[in-house]
Amino acid sequence: MRLSRYLAHGGISSRRGAEELIRDGRVTVAGEVVTDPARDVDEDSSVRFDGKQVRPVEQPVVIALNKPKGVVSTAKDTHDRPTVVTLIGAKRRLYPVGRLDADTTGLILLTDDGELANRLTHPRYGVPKTYRATVAKAPIKEEALERLRTGVELEDGMTAPAEAKRVAPDKIELIIREGKKRQVRRMLEEVGHPVKSLQRVAFGPLKLDLGEGAFRQLTKVEIERLRSTPGAFQQPKREAKRPPRKRR
């Protein structure tokens, strides 16, 4: 965990405020003054602020759940349908990281770490999500795969190129890096292969390894793997500003 984030979780300051405290030389790690907010630390690093030991008040929690069909990906539901939050029965306030349609099954994450959730779901960070779909009108045509790989025009705009692979005459594996509403279903419908069933089998580096309806808390190692997913913590590239034209 970054030192600035560690201090924030320890209740010392906000993450941005913690960066200033670190640069002011008020924080030590293992007895040495550290001025780099990005320094990696953990509970065994002996972090001190103004000489006092710092420990995170509560470590963020990330839960992996194999969502069954019919369960909605919200904290509450106005139609009294079961939700991913009620399914795991967590004592802490956890929120789903992104959404899966009620009819879509598979891997969904829940957490109380808002920063991590944003980094994993915002399309500008490009974290891959892998789906397996059983489709109609088999066999899946190569033309359909090529359209998916170059982007599909939907009513709300063109999708980014996806990775598409036929794994059986009526089954396809699709990897996307954005999250338009019902995107996978609409993409496959558009290329001529409506979805019969859909499952998310991976989220970034995490693979689905749970039975239907089962869930578990991720380890620290798994959470750090999520944080280091290529693209997850990269800032979007900005276009270089063109110099103003000289007046003649």
Tens digits of residue pLDDT in 110-163? 998 888 888 898 888 889 999 999 999 999 999 999 999 999 999 999 999 999
Residue of higher predicted confidence among 105 and 14 = 105
Q: Which amino acid is at 40?
A: D
Superfamily of domain 62-227: Pseudouridine synthase (3.30.2350.10)
Burial of residue 79 (CB within 10 Å: 0-12, 13-18, 19+) is exposed
CATH 3.20.20.70 fits 3-53, yes or no: no
Show which residues are catalytic. 101
Tokens of residue 214, six digits: 């089962």
| pTM flag (> 0.75) | no
Name residues whose C-beta falls within 8 Å of residue 150's C-beta, 6 or more positions apart in sequence: 161
CB 24 within 8 A of CB 13: no
Per-residue pLDDT reduced to its tens digit, 148-168: 999 999 999 999 999 999 999
Provide the residue ranges of all domains of the chain, joining segments of one domain with +.
3-53, 62-227
CA distances from 240 to 121, 234, 235, 237 (A): 26, 17, 14, 9
CB 227 within 8 A of CB 85: no
Tokens of residue 152, six digits: 């599909």
Collapsed DSSP state (helix, strand, coil) of residue 20: helix
